[in-house]
Amino acid sequence: MLKSLAPRSLRTVVLCLSVLVCQYGVAEAAARVALLIGNEKYEATSQLNNPANDVELMKTALEEAGFDSVTTVHDLTRGAMVRALRDFEDMATGADVAIIYYSGHGMEMNGENYLLPVDVTLKSDKDVEDEAVPLDRVQRSLEGAKRLKLVILDACRNNPFEQSMTRSISTRAVSRGLARVEPESADLLVAFASKAGTVAMDGEGKNSPFATALAKYLTEPGVDVRIALGKVRDEVVTATNREQEPFVYGSLGGAQIFLNIKEININVTTSGEQQVSPNGQSAAAADWQNIRDLADKELIEVFLQKHGGDPVYKMLAEKKLKLLNEAEQTSTTSPDEIAWEALKQSTDAAALTRFIERYPDSTHKAEAEQQIAALEPKKGLNISQTGKDTQASRDCYLLAGEPQSMPGFLGVNFLKIDSERALTACAQAVNENPDDMMLVNLLGRAYDAGRNYPEARSTYQKAADGGNMYGLTNLAWFSIYGTDGPVDIEAGKRMFEKAAAAGNPYAQASLGWLYREGYGGVPQDFAESKRLYEASASQGYANAMATLGWFYREGKGVPQDYAESLKWYIKAADGGDANAMSSLGWAYQNGLGTAQDYAEAKKWYEKAANVGDAYSMALLGWFYDVGNGVPQDYEQARNWYEMAANAGSAYAMGGLSRLYDFGLGTKPDPKEAVRWAAASIEGGDQGKLDEVRTKPDNFTADFRREFQALLKERGFYSGPIDGDFGASTQAAIDRLAQHS
């Protein structure tokens, strides 16, 4: 939704270096151990072809990934199998990650799963408990591992004794495949080669399809184990023409877990090229969003290593680092208290989650958990199309949910998605419930936010093929913007139309946007646009309500009607739309459809600021800066400007420049003033650029000299440091602006 501008243009910083998202804390030294069991030479039943090969394939994959110990054993009798599990139990105690991989025969009886040693005869069902090894015993061998306990069972073949076993009790059920499990142990996953009640294939090659996919994906560098297992599932489903579908049971916490420890996923390009993703957010901006609310020097230093070439975000990080160092020297306030001060009214679930992860012992943990709970889909809502409501699916909605996709659910603005945490939650949710196409779509959003466009496209396509219209609409935007290929407006428009005809409010609003903007050659048609937004708004889609407010405020396709505009903005704000909240602030500030009321304007700007709206933070800074409806208070102005600058507002950076130049609410500091002015210009604030170029006398002489020094340091200026903004200085300022 478009907004009228405040006294100076407010634009979001869109600078970046091409960067893969850094995984913080992935290089732990704790041991990673694995036990690989291959049973193929059965004495009393059919032998298998692949287990020995599968074990060797997995051994190679895990050793290449840097595992400390990989133990392989073959063709074990029951006694030998129990001894191997007991020995591994000692090895797994205290390990970071412990894995047991089993390839061989298995069976299920009365809902319990058993692995079959090579010496089983199973003449009667009474023999199962004495001759086979229960899955519970396998799981117990992993209990001592700290972060991840993983059982991988390539054992979902047909039970070879099913027909020959004598049944002592007629009701004792022996079924094909293995039975589903619900692990009670924390941090335990059990991966089946094929979901409960179905059988797996040996394949035609030397390895089973499941083992082949595991070796390919499980230890892929920088890929969380849950996402890796999701890739394994997709590969096996494709390779077997949907005859075999692997399945994962159990759940993990929110932290990322990587099985490959030889490579850390930090890949900074140094070419100096600046790229902006189709969503308008830079890699530096995305990473800064993920740490700016934390009082954590370590994370900021890692950020500077990655994004030190981005002058705007380098400055923001250095400023934060300086403040934290000063706080350490002058205050007894703990880092979590500093961080909580910025989050205590936040509706950013990812930021609150990061706070809990970083400060698990904070006295504010319970408050953060309460705020997170308020942002989840309401209890009792049926959030799953398949009826399976798990904690992972709720976490997926919390971190990547489509806005207003359920009654009373705010969802997550795309630019607020913490891609790494969302990937973790949504990959696990899809592993648990692969037929829920909304969860598949949300996994696509997580990939999309993390700039993994090939995975995002294929995941959106899968959701769309499964009938999810949010997935189809997200896929359409790839064509509209040419996210991962050529721009194809017509193809995107057709997808919008299909999803809109199916009643999807997001698609209706998206198609309305095409007609409103006349984008990409689509004829501008305000009447058709308004009709589509009305259809979307009628379903409670807050963004569409806010846009209808814009139609009436600007008089586009309708007579200008500020009162009607105000009604729509109020509806949208009640639905949680930050744009509508800030637009209400603007309406009350300027008396549009209501009496001018600065107190009411301030209230709405504060509401929008609390949900992270940088525009509103900047305007609150301006209110206090000029004394507009509030007592003039430069210190408050600086606080709001700094919050807005942290959130990417170039206008707020320009406001901070003036305060530091003239010592308003702080000590005069020409160097700091110039740094903020340069950041504002590089961030795209045309007002600050025009002021520096055409009104240099608005600034102190010290500022002008420091500005020339900065231009010289950046290589844009070679003249004297005299404070005279002549032709050579003007040309250097233009080069600074063009560089942004």
Report pLDDT digits (tens) over 499-518.
999 999 999 999 999 999 99
Strand partners, 151: 100, 190
Taking the C-alpha atoms of residue 508 and residue 464, their distance in angstroms, rounded to an integer, is 16
C-alpha distances in Å from residue 198, one per residue of 21, 160, 212: 38, 14, 19
pLDDT digits (tens, 9 = 90+) for 97-144: 999 999 999 888 888 899 999 999 988 888 888 999 999 999 999 999
Averaged pLDDT for residues 274-302: 71
Output the pLDDT for position 346: 76
Output the pLDDT for position 164: 61
SS3 171: coil
What's the DSSP call for residue 595? -
Taking the C-alpha atoms of residue 307 and residue 297, their distance in angstroms, rounded to an integer, is 15
* pLDDT band at residue 475 under the 50/70/90 scheme: very high
H or E stretch at 188: strand 188-192
Output the pLDDT for position 604: 96
Helix axes 598-610, 614-626, angle to 10 degrees: 140
Output the pLDDT for position 555: 96
pLDDT digits (tens, 9 = 90+) for 548-596: 999 999 999 899 999 999 999 999 999 989 999 999 999 999 999 999 9
pLDDT digits (tens, 9 = 90+) for 589-633: 999 999 999 999 999 999 999 888 999 999 999 999 999 889 999
Averaged pLDDT for residues 194-201: 75
What's the DSSP call for residue 454? H
**CATH number of the domain encompassing residue 660:** 1.25.40.10
Closest CA to 4 of 563, 549, 623, 594: 549
Query: Between 634 and 344, where is the model more confident?
Result: 634
Does 637 fall in a domain? yes
Query: Between 223 and 27, where is the model more confident?
Result: 223
pLDDT digits (tens, 9 = 90+) for 325-334: 877 777 777 8
SS3 699: coil
> Residue 612 corresponds to which tokens in the numbers above?
């992270």
Averaged pLDDT for residues 386-391: 76
What count of other Cβ atoms lies within 10 Å of the Cβ of residue 10? 24
> Residue 306 corresponds to which tokens in the numbers above?
């990655």
Output the pLDDT for position 510: 97
Does 219 fall in a domain? yes
C-alpha distances in Å from residue 543, one per residue of 475, 517, 518, 600: 19, 16, 19, 22
> In this model, does residue 22 exceed pLDDT 50?
no
Output the pLDDT for position 380: 65
Taking the C-alpha atoms of residue 305 and residue 552, their distance in angstroms, rounded to an integer, is 48
What count of other Cβ atoms lies within 10 Å of the Cβ of residue 226? 24
Taking the C-alpha atoms of residue 187 and residue 510, their distance in angstroms, rounded to an integer, is 41
Q: In percent, how much of the chain has pLDDT > 70? A: 89
Boundary-marking domain end, from 208, 236, 251: 251
What's the DSSP call for residue 20? P
> In this model, does residue 253 exceed pLDDT 80?
no
Output the pLDDT for position 12: 28
Output the pLDDT for position 390: 80
Q: Which of 6-10, 207-211, 280-284 has the highest mean pLDDT?
A: 207-211
Closest CA to 198 of 217, 179, 172, 218: 179
> In this model, does residue 525 exceed pLDDT 50?
yes
> In this model, does residue 277 exceed pLDDT 90?
no
Taking the C-alpha atoms of residue 286 and residue 21, their distance in angstroms, rounded to an integer, is 9
Output the pLDDT for position 292: 75
> In this model, does residue 173 exceed pLDDT 60?
no
Boundary-marking domain end, from 234, 251, 268: 251
* pLDDT band at residue 354 under the 50/70/90 scheme: confident
Helix axes 650-662, 614-626, angle to 10 degrees: 30
Does 93 fall in a domain? yes
> Residue 271 — φ and ψ, nearest 5°?
-75, -15
> In this model, does residue 178 exceed pLDDT 90?
no
Output the pLDDT for position 279: 59
SS3 123: coil
> Residue 205 corresponds to which tokens in the numbers above?
């090659």
Output the pLDDT for position 274: 39
Output the pLDDT for position 465: 97
Does 12 fall in a domain? no
Taking the C-alpha atoms of residue 633 and residue 621, their distance in angstroms, rounded to an integer, is 9
C-alpha distances in Å from residue 366, one per residue of 149, 360, 373: 28, 10, 10
* pLDDT band at residue 287 under the 50/70/90 scheme: confident
Output the pLDDT for position 739: 75
**CATH number of the domain encompassing residue 193:** 3.40.50.1460
The one-letter code for the residue type at 546 is A
Boundary-marking domain end, from 251, 285, 308: 251
**Contact status, residue 470 vs residue 405, Cβ threshold 8 Å:** yes
Does 486 fall in a domain? no
Surface-to-core class of residue 679, CB atoms within 10 Å of its CB (0-12 exposed, 13-18 middle, 19+ buried)? buried
**Contact status, residue 557 vs residue 517, Cβ threshold 8 Å:** no
Beta pairing, strands 188-192 & 148-154: parallel
Output the pLDDT for position 175: 52
Averaged pLDDT for residues 649-663: 95
> In this model, does residue 271 exceed pLDDT 80?
no
Does 692 fall in a domain? yes
**Contact status, residue 4 vs residue 586, Cβ threshold 8 Å:** yes
> Residue 524 corresponds to which tokens in the numbers above?
């501008």
Output the pLDDT for position 24: 34
H or E stretch at 247: strand 247-251
**Contact status, residue 326 vs residue 58, Cβ threshold 8 Å:** no
**Contact status, residue 163 vs residue 140, Cβ threshold 8 Å:** no
Output the pLDDT for position 169: 42
Does 7 fall in a domain? no
Closest CA to 418 of 396, 446, 438: 446
Output the pLDDT for position 14: 26
Averaged pLDDT for residues 51-77: 95
> In this model, does residue 268 exceed pLDDT 60?
no
The mean pLDDT of the chain is 85
Mean pLDDT check: name the lowest of 81-85, 286-290, 396-400, 444-448. 286-290
SS3 192: strand
Output the pLDDT for position 469: 98
Sheet of strand 69-74: strand arrangement: 69-74, 32-38, 97-103, 148-154, 188-192, 247-251
Closest CA to 392 of 347, 368, 425: 425
Q: In percent, how much of the chain has pLDDT > 90? A: 55
Q: Which of 152-156, 451-455, 513-517, 647-651 has the highest mean pLDDT?
A: 513-517
- Residue ranges of the alpha helices (H) in 627-700? 634-646, 650-662, 670-682, 686-694
What count of other Cβ atoms lies within 10 Å of the Cβ of residue 520? 16
C-alpha distances in Å from residue 202, one per residue of 116, 197, 215, 541, 642: 17, 17, 15, 49, 61
Q: Give the structural domain span for 139.
A: 32-251
Taking the C-alpha atoms of residue 13 and residue 93, their distance in angstroms, rounded to an integer, is 49
Output the pLDDT for position 202: 66
Taking the C-alpha atoms of residue 196 and residue 156, their distance in angstroms, rounded to an integer, is 8
Look-up of token digits 């997200």: 474
pLDDT digits (tens, 9 = 90+) for 313-322: 887 888 878 8
> In this model, does residue 73 exceed pLDDT 90?
yes
Query: Between 345 and 493, where is the model more confident?
Result: 493
Query: Between 286 and 550, where is the model more confident?
Result: 550
Does 156 fall in a domain? yes
Domain total in the chain: 2
> In this model, does residue 276 exceed pLDDT 70?
no
- Residue ranges of the alpha helices (H) in 401-541? 419-432, 437-449, 453-465, 469-481, 489-501, 505-517, 526-537
